[in-house]
Amino acid sequence: MILAQQQRALTMLFKIEARAEPSRQMALAAPLIATGLTIVISSIFFLTLGLNPFLTLYTFFVEPLTTKNGLSEWLLKASPLILIACGLSIGFRANVWNIGAEGQLIMGAITATGVGLFLPFQESGLLLPLMAVAGVIGGMAWAAIPAFLRDRMNTNEILVTLMLTYIAALILSWLVHGPWRDPEGFNFPQTALLPNQGMFGVFDYAYRLNTSIFITVVVVVLTWVFTERSFLGYKMSVGGAAPSAARFAGFSSSASIWIGLLASGAAAGLAGMMEVAGPLGQLSPQISPGYGFAAIIVAFIGRLNAIGIVLGGLLLSLLYLGGETVQLSLGLPSSIALIFQGMLLFFLLASNFLINFRFRKIAMRAH
Amino acid sequence: MDLFVSIFTATIIAATPLIFAALGELIVEKSGVLNLGIEGMMLIGAAFGVWAHFAGLPMFVAVVIAVLAGMASSLLFGVLALTFMTNQYAAGLALAIFGAGVSAFIGRGFGSTPVEAIQPIDIPGLSNIPVIGEMFFHYDPLVYFSFVMFGAVSWFLYRTKAGLTLRAIGESPDSAHAIGFHVIRIRYLAVMFGGGMAGLGGAYLSLVYTPLWVENMTAGRGWIALALVVFAAWRPKRVVLGAWLFGGMTILQLQGQAMGLAIPSEVLSSLPYLATIIVLVLISQNRQAMALDFPVSLAQPFRPKG
């Protein structure tokens, strides 16, 4: 009885109410609140594992950035995440849910490698651009399937893009175990190495960071222009936020579906190409540590905005690096990075609530 | 005949985790909530089940722990989607990723150590009937329980007042709220039921079907369960039919690989995923049938007015 009264009193203390308009301060504060909460909860988590939380957090978030190699790896991993998230954000804004960027990345890597290994341009300077085009086409083609099925067949794109991801992984496995296996590769399931003309140049031979990062920079700028400054981008966002209003204004949802999926497929395919023509140099059964899925988180952390995505990509890339560092130096499993990713996204989504709603104190009623 | 019987029983067993997870999601979606995180909840159930088993707990307790773990993880989604009214797609995806991480962390010590699987039980008299006994009365208890759950879900949805309330909330949360139903509270219960069932499906994989812990061992079954609910057009009977269809696909491709067909194993492995796409396309053609039992408020955030 008393408890019930207390609960009642507590619920009377604060009231949730919708803000008249989204709060700008909160829009900036929300990601910081989310990151802060993630750090607090993970500290508690480390304590329960018997680890010093300060040392562990330092190893996770700071140590990777103290060396030149760490910085190079940080940007190298952030680049595909940012690239893919830019593509995804265009679809997500229009309520087109491409969850299968991982599959489109794999297909882009496959088509690019196919061009790099088997086309007669091995010595030509054209090889790399051709591979990039092939990667874009591969990713787009794989994303065109769900676009067609959603547009013409009314089929849910979430499930189709996901199923196609599993199929893409199987195609890759078949290629590297079968027809594309390097005959001189001691039976390892991998293709031959790409020719030199089919590789991005590195800035310094000691580190893996390569010139493909400029592509990501260009894509970020293009995404910003498309979403913030173009009429088409605006139309797509309206279609996502208020479908009936958009239909009334004559905006086609069919165009949104195609643009949303093809843009994200192209970005993911290009990212796949950049991975094989960059750090990997060849195809093997595992070519991505889940970049296609993590990019979904990046897109949301960045609030589907190009500049936000850059920050989100840098943060998630740091999570990957930190996961590797704690695995090496503290013997913690790398799955911790995934836990952090999920937790960060949870807190971020929850703190977004503060942008549109506020808690208002109201007078406590006497019982 | 022996081959037929073994394919039949293997299909029933392969369908069981899908039946659990998809029936759970059916209830969630009927309440108007879309939880995309089934894959993560199944993985959490699978990992916690194995953890409890290796902690020396009896099998029954391990299964219960898996269910509770699934429920607890679904609450993370529930708080986001129901209390904080976030985008349900994003919240579900967060759960899928989080579940993969947590399960890999929990299961890290048990990688590939075989589990003493839950054994089939014999029903005196019935199990000894030739062929029929083998086909219908020689399963582990959870298979029978999946049928109990199917009956319970059907009965609940269409024969009880609470089921009617749940469906009303999925159709029109605003009117349900106006009549005085606690929309958010009931949706929380539905989400937790879905989480428990997904945890159970995951435990079935790691304690009966495989039976051991492997990272990401669900291999997309959580997403297939999601597709099954669409395939079933939100009707429990067709959830079970669909689960058998996909169970059958899985078993046929395994049989094909075992028989050494001259097809690359990857082609056979892709069949269940390909079948999911094809079935989804076919089922999406009939818009009227899809609309009939579709919970209209699905994935839309609800905030009580006043």
User: Where are the domains positioned within chain B?
Assistant: 2-292
Please enumerate in sequence order all residues whose Cβ is within 8 A of that of A12, keeping only pairs 6 or more positions apart, or say none: A362, A364, A365
- A345 and B267 within 8 Å at the Cβ level: the answer is no
Half-sphere exposure of A335 (CA within 13 A, CB side): 16
Half-sphere exposure of B256 (CA within 13 A, CB side): 17
What are the boundaries of each domain within chain A? 52-331
Do B26 and B232 meet the contact criterion of CB atoms below 8 Å apart? yes
ipTM of the complex in this document: 0.83
- B284 and A170 within 8 Å at the Cβ level: the answer is no
3-state helix, strand, coil in chain A (%, to 5): 70, 5, 25
Least reliable range by pLDDT among B4-18, B27-41, B130-144, B185-199: B130-144
In which residue ranges of chain A is pLDDT below 70?
A: 1-15, 243-251, 361-367
CA distance A229 to B251: 53
Chain B CB contacts of A337 below 8 Å: 101
CA distance A72 to chain B (A): 26
CA distance B49 to B69: 9
Identify which of B188, B190, B196, B192 has the alpha carbon closest to the alpha carbon of residue B65.
B196
Q: What is the DSSP string of A38-72?
A: HHHHHHHHHHHTT--HHHHHIIIIIGGGGSHHHHH
Q: Which residue has the higher pLDDT, B64 or A27?
A: B64
What pLDDT is recorded for position A277? 96
What pLDDT is recorded for position A332? 80
What pLDDT is recorded for position B4? 86
What is the Cα B219 distance to its own chain's centre? 13
How does pLDDT run across B207-221, given as a tens digit for each residue?
999 888 998 899 889
Q: Which residue has the higher pLDDT, A158 or B290?
A: A158
Closest CB to A346 among B94, B266, B280: B94
- B227 and A337 within 8 Å at the Cβ level: the answer is no
Identify which of A103, A121, A156 has the alpha carbon closest to the alpha carbon of residue A271.
A103
Pinpoint the alpha helices (H) of B172-235.
Answer: 173-179, 183-204, 221-231
Do A220 and A82 meet the contact criterion of CB atoms below 8 Å apart? yes
Helix (H, G, I), strand (E, B) or coil at B213: strand
For A341, nearest residue in chain B (alpha carbons): B98
CA distance B130 to B247: 24
Residue A15 pairs in a beta bridge with: A360
Place of tokens 């943060």: A315
Q: Say if residue A195 is exposed, middle or buried (CB neighbours under 10 Å; 0-12, 13-18, 19+).
A: middle
Closest CB to B273 among A167, A173, A339: A167
How does pLDDT run across A24-71, given as a tens digit for each residue?
777 778 878 888 888 888 888 888 888 888 888 888 889 889 999 999
DSSP 8-class letter at A360 = E
Helix (H, G, I), strand (E, B) or coil at B80: helix
Tell whether the torsion through CA atoms of A114, A117, A118 and A120 is positive or negative: positive
For B281, nearest residue in chain A (alpha carbons): A155
- Residue A342 CB: number of other CB atoms within 10 A? 25
What pLDDT is recorded for position A362? 65
For B106, nearest residue in chain A (alpha carbons): A335
Domain A52-331 has CATH 3.30.1940: no
Q: Which residue has the higher pLDDT, B108 or A116?
A: A116
* pTM, two decimal places: 0.87
What pLDDT is recorded for position B120? 85
Chain A CB contacts of B273 below 8 Å: 163-164, 166-167
Fold type of domain B2-292? ABC transporter involved in vitamin B12 uptake, BtuC (1.10.3470)
Task: Kindly list the distances between the CA atom of residue B121 and the CA atoms of B53, B64, B117, B259, in Å, as whole numbers in the listed order.
Answer: 19, 19, 12, 29
CA distance A241 to chain B (A): 12
Chain A CB contacts of B102 below 8 Å: 335, 339, 342
